[in-house]
Structure 1
Amino acid sequence: MSVPLLRTVILYFAVVAAVRVMGKRQIGELDPSELVITILISDLAAIPMQDLGIPLFAGLVPIAALIILEIFMSYFAMKSRRFRRLINGQPAIIIKKGELDIQKMRQMRLTTDEIIETLRKQGVASVSDVKYGVIEPDGTLSIVLKQPQQPVTAEMLNLTPKDQGLPVVVVSDGKLVQRSLQLLHKEAKEVENQLKNQGYTVADVFLMTLDDCGNVFIQPKEAN
């Protein structure tokens, strides 16, 4: 019983390491080559996990080979635009000035229902509201709205809103997050004093976020 468990744990960490090495995108955003490599790695890991007669090394070697192959392919794709297009494909415009490109949809085997559903998920009611719609190499639909349908911005209204940075978690469940303090170039004492001015201690706070513009959010722990 211990041998299958040990093999499973080793293969699990091998696959996790493989995915980490290949990239950090989500499955739905993988390029075709990355998706193929991910599927192959999963299949290769499953074989020695299920069949104890197959040496564990026989499963790890192909996984390592695929990782190396993916790294080299990513390198060549960075250097060569033609190779990148060959492996991953290129964007395709399927909506132009509020009208569907029927010929392009047929080439990509897309239905009107799929396009309309995707537009609804992005909060777009009609194809006529879209100036350009582009199918990206990862299969997602990117849209550029016509000017009357574009969201109102502060610039359009001649407003100057308060500047916002990237909030990072500095206190999590009553504990300071040292890495976040380093990113913000803050000392622990500064955060403690900031909380003290609000009537809290670090132990009282469930979540505190802070950005480089000084914007802060504090959520205290629930009272017992």
Structure 2
Amino acid sequence: MQEWLLVALRTLLAIVILFLMTKILGKRQVSQLSFFEYITGITIGSLAAYISLDLDARWYLGIVSLSVWVLFSLGIEFLQIKSKKARDFIESKARVLIKDGKIMEENLKKERITTDELMEELRKKSVFQTANVEFAVMEPSGDINVLLTKENQPLTPKHLGIKVDPEQEPQVVIMDGVVINEPLATIGLNREWLDTELEKIGVAIENVFLGQVDSYGQLYVDLYDDQIKVPKPQNKATLLATLKKCEADLEMFSLSTKAPKAKKMYEECAKELERVIKEVRPLLIQ
């Protein structure tokens, strides 16, 4: 067999073996490499290259070595799952770098991080002043996570005492100009509703690259032609305007009637509706 063909076949074999071994090791090998996993990845890649290019009759020893590395890595991962001491030894512990706005200089030295590097990492988190940091910790992966002080945290409905219902995942109902029926059925809608919504904005299904429906039943579309501007859904704005109109009508009825009982009823209903509008307004103006 010619050498180029032999190298090609061994390369294909190495790719298949490397893919299978990586699948066995799991997604963490790719997404969150620890120090040991980083070494493992480099070594496995080198062994795969050896299997591909070594024309010696003993090339199969590369597969043996590759298998040993993978099995050893699996053993280390299972050991880390079972033992916290093993995790702390292999991956090291998280270390506090800033506490109550004060930089922990000794911990910076232990992690061999300069002040410039720390400030760079903080700026990546949109933090420009250490005094605004309640807590900053360096994770075993090398990432630095930051908790801002209360007064510097973004305002949320919880801070305002507003209870917000959990928002459902937006469902993709059109992809590449084709309607996907299963997500439509999941959110209790049908093809007729979709056709009506598309007709409102004057768009044909075949011209839609991607269509999504949010938890409020609003349809958002992205067209193949980016030059065409599609109006944004107005369902929430329309609902808010309708509620305000109802409130105004109730107030007008209370002013126009001369019957005391009816006047009182209209006033109470107007106040109740005003309270409801105040509660739902943050959701309807997003």
Equivalent residue of 2:168, what SS? coil
Q: Partners of 1:119 and 1:207 in 2: how far apart?
A: 36
**Distance change (3 Å), C-alpha of 1:39 and 1:149:** same
Task: Note if 1:108 corresponds to 2:111.
Answer: yes
1:196 and 2:198 are equivalent in the alignment: no
Alpha-carbon separation, structure 1, partners of 2:65 and 2:44: 8
Contact 1:129 1:146 in 2 (8 A): yes
Q: 1:143-171, CA deviations, whole angstroms, 9 ceiling, x for partnerless residues?
A: 11111111111222344557423335443
Residue 3 of structure 1 deviates from its aligned partner by 2.5
Q: 1:78 aligns with which of 78, 81, 86?
A: 81
**Which stretches in structure 2 are left out of the alignment for 5+ residues?**
228-286
CA positional deviation for 1:46: 1.5
Could you give the per-residue CA deviations for residues 170-193 of structure 1, whole angstroms, max 9, x where no partner exists? 433124568xx4xx5837x95533
Structure with higher Rg: it is 2
Distance 2:88 2:210 in 1: 44
Gaps of 5+ in 1: none
TM-score norm. by structure 2 comes to 0.66
Could you tell me whether the CA contact under 8 Å between 1:19 and 1:38 is conserved in 2? no
Q: 1:173 aligns with which of 173, 176, 181?
A: 176
- What is the SS of the residue equivalent to 2:117? helix
Cα drift, residue 125 of structure 1: 0.7
Match of 2:63 in 1: 60
**SS of residue paired to 2:185:** coil
Greater CA deviation, 125-134 or 68-77? Answer: 68-77
Change (3 A) 1:85 1:194: farther
Residue 21 and residue 167 in structure 1: after superposition, are their counterparts in 2 closer, same or farther (change >3 A)?
A: farther
* Contact 1:192-1:202 within 8 A present in 2 as well: no
**Superimposed CA distance per residue, residues 60-108 of structure 1 (whole angstroms, 9 cap, x where no aligned partner):** 3322222222222222211111111111111000111111111111111
Corresponding residue for residue 124 of structure 1: 127
| Greater CA drift, 140-149 or 166-175 | 166-175
SS at match of 1:156: coil
Call closer, same or farther: CA 1:216–1:158 in 2, change over 3 Å: farther
Alignment partner, residue 157 of structure 2: 154
Distance 2:62 2:174 in 1: 42
Separation (CA, whole Å) in 1 of partners of 2:16 and 2:225: 37
Q: Determine if the alignment matches structure 1 residue 30 to structure 2 residue 33.
A: yes
- Residue 186 of structure 1 pairs with residue 189 of structure 2: no
CA contact (8 A) 1:48 1:54 kept: no
Q: Secondary structure of the residue that 1:198 maps to in structure 2?
A: helix
Match of residue 135 from structure 1: 138
Q: Indicate how the Cα distance of structure 1 residues 165 and 25 shifts in structure 2: closer, same or farther if over 3 A, else same.
A: farther
Q: Distance in 1 between matches of 2:30 and 2:205?
A: 37
- Percent identity over the alignment is 26
CA RMSD of aligned residues (A): 3.0
Which has the higher relative contact order, 1 or 2, with Cα contacts under 8 A spaced 6 or more apart? 1
Residue of structure 2 equivalent to 1:95: 98
CA contact (8 A) 1:48 1:55 kept: no
Q: Please report how far the alpha carbon of residue 5 of structure 1 lies from its aligned counterpart in structure 2 after TM superposition.
A: 2.1
The separation in 2 between residues aligned to 1:128 and 1:54, in whole angstroms, is 65
- The 8 Å contact of residues 22 and 29 in structure 2, kept in 1 or not, is answered as no
Q: Distance in 2 between matches of 1:29 and 1:129?
A: 29
